[in-house]
Structure 1
Amino acid sequence: MTESAREKREIEAMASKAKFFLILSLLSASVSYSIAEDPVPTPWPLQFHSILLMNYSGIPQIINLWYDWPNGRNFNIIQHQLGNVLYDLEWNNGTSFFYTLDSSKTCSSAQLEVGILRPNWLDGAKYLGQRHVDGFLCNVWEKVDFIWYYEDVETKRPVHWLFYTGRQAHVMTFEVGAVLEDEKWQAPVYCFDGTGTTVNDVALHQNLPLMPDVNNRLLHQNYPAI
């Protein structure tokens, strides 16, 4: 073999190796991209206020949701259409109060196994892709076959929640950092002194949003305690 022929073969071999490593690099980059391309849900801010339009079997509700993780509390103020206002006050020690502030002085309490949802409660949710809902392009996740969570692709704000029961929450406003005054978090005295009117717990809980149930579901599905 002549010197020139040997050099030509070596050059071809080097070119072949270079091409192999280039293809390997591109494949590696492609795999890395495919792994990283699935978005993850944005953790909830530590404190926020949201107005939710709830719909369940054609029965609408307006809920003022106040979430306050640093102080371990969550508040759902539920307005029924042409009806009363129900207050659902939840604490991180598992204590919840359900009451009205009208003349009926209705109050019921419960001790749950878990407290309020953590800001990262959506960790580990299954990504389902993108959908249009309520006029927004959203990333969608499913959590423990219980809730489908829609988040605006652009702003990362929650847009829509769909529960396994068919109950839907349309997020009308989302105010990051908003905090309700401390005095508004105090359950009325008739919740403690026995003078309040109790109601049927089953009927009462049918009118409540399902976020506490999400917490219990996560707990019993062997997910990290919320």
Structure 2
Amino acid sequence: MTPPHLPVTVTVAFLLLFLCLPATPPAAAAAADPTPTPWPPQFHATLVMDYHGNMSVADLWYDWPGGRNLHVIRYQLAADAPYYDNEWNNGTSFFYTPARRTCRSAAVGVGILRPDWLRPGAIYLGRRDAGGFDCHVWAKADFITYYEDVKTKRPVKWVFYTGRIAYVMSFEVGAVLEDAAWQAPEYCFTKDGGLATDTTTKISDGHHGSSFIPRSVL
């Protein structure tokens, strides 16, 4: 027996409902933006720095358990290289050039960067190429743009608002510098040798005398 026909109004309603259905199943909820990988507690990185054409190579030693951070900077063709930027978790930094026996200090008022310093307030900018590396990119505090390799989670490049660019050439997780190398020279604690000590000096991003990432804004 042939079933009775549906009323026209019901048939039209079913047709409209069918036409309104999506052609494919609804997409899954968008995944949350990735978060920056915290720095390891201890590492050594080799950086090539470009500051408006002023080139340098820096060894960055980071030691969170020891509460200390050291940049050993060699400017291109500089006769008095290397230059040391020695930072401590008690808020004190020393800047010295052994070849000239000069040193100054600064009371920054904050300690070194935490391993997760990027996470609070970092804005995800998406994925970009950086010298052939597929990177996640974040910006923070209108100061730094940070590139992290998608596969290895290692930092690849840092771009600062001043125009300084740091290219990470090597990144050794767990590398530790011997304690003796962290000691500021004796002339940092005297007035001898032309020492200029300034306990109120601001950390800048200029030539000869800067932390690459001002801790006060992060």
TM-score above 0.5, yes or no: yes
**TM-score range relative to shorter protein:** 0.7 to 0.9
Which of 180, 183, 189 aligns to 1:183? It is 180
Counterpart residue number, 1:211:
212
Task: Answer yes or no: is 1:143 the counterpart of 2:140.
Answer: yes
Contact 2:203 2:210 (8 Å CA) reproduced: no
One-letter code aligned to 2:71 = N
One-letter code aligned to 1:57 = H
Query: Distance between the aligned counterparts of 1:147 and 1:198, measured in 2?
Result: 32
User: Could you report, residue by residue, the CA deviation over 1:83-114 in whole angstroms, capped at 9, with x for unpaired residues?
Assistant: 12110100001000000111x20000000021
- Quote the offset at 1:196 in angstroms: 3.3
- Quote the offset at 1:217 in angstroms: 1.3
Q: Give the SS at the match of 1:130.
A: strand
Counterpart residue number, 1:30:
28
Query: Distance between the aligned counterparts of 2:66 and 2:73, measured in 1?
Result: 21
Cα RMSD (Å): 2.3
User: Could you report, residue by residue, the CA deviation over 1:144-203 in whole angstroms, capped at 9, with x for unpaired residues?
Assistant: 111000001111100000001110000000000000000000001011122132369789
One-letter code aligned to 2:28 = S
Query: Distance between the aligned counterparts of 1:67 and 1:165, measured in 2?
Result: 23
Query: Distance between the aligned counterparts of 2:156 and 2:139, measured in 1?
Result: 14
Query: Distance between the aligned counterparts of 1:206 and 1:57, measured in 2?
Result: 11
Give the 3 Å change call, closer, same or farther, for CA 196–183 of structure 1 in structure 2.
Answer: same
Task: Answer yes or no: is 1:45 the counterpart of 2:40.
Answer: yes
Q: Which has the higher helix share?
A: 1
Q: Which runs of 5+ in 1 are unaligned?
A: 6-22, 219-226
TM-score of the aligned structures, taking structure 1 as reference length: 0.78
User: Could you report, residue by residue, the CA deviation over 1:16-35 in whole angstroms, capped at 9, with x for unpaired residues?
Assistant: xxxxxxx9xx75x722xx14
The alignment covers a number of residue pairs equal to 190
User: Could you report, residue by residue, the CA deviation over 1:31-84 in whole angstroms, capped at 9, with x for unpaired residues?
Assistant: 2xx143x21110000000000000011010100000000000000000011112
Identity of aligned residues (%): 55
Q: Give the SS at the match of 2:192.
A: coil
TM-score of the aligned structures, taking structure 2 as reference length: 0.80
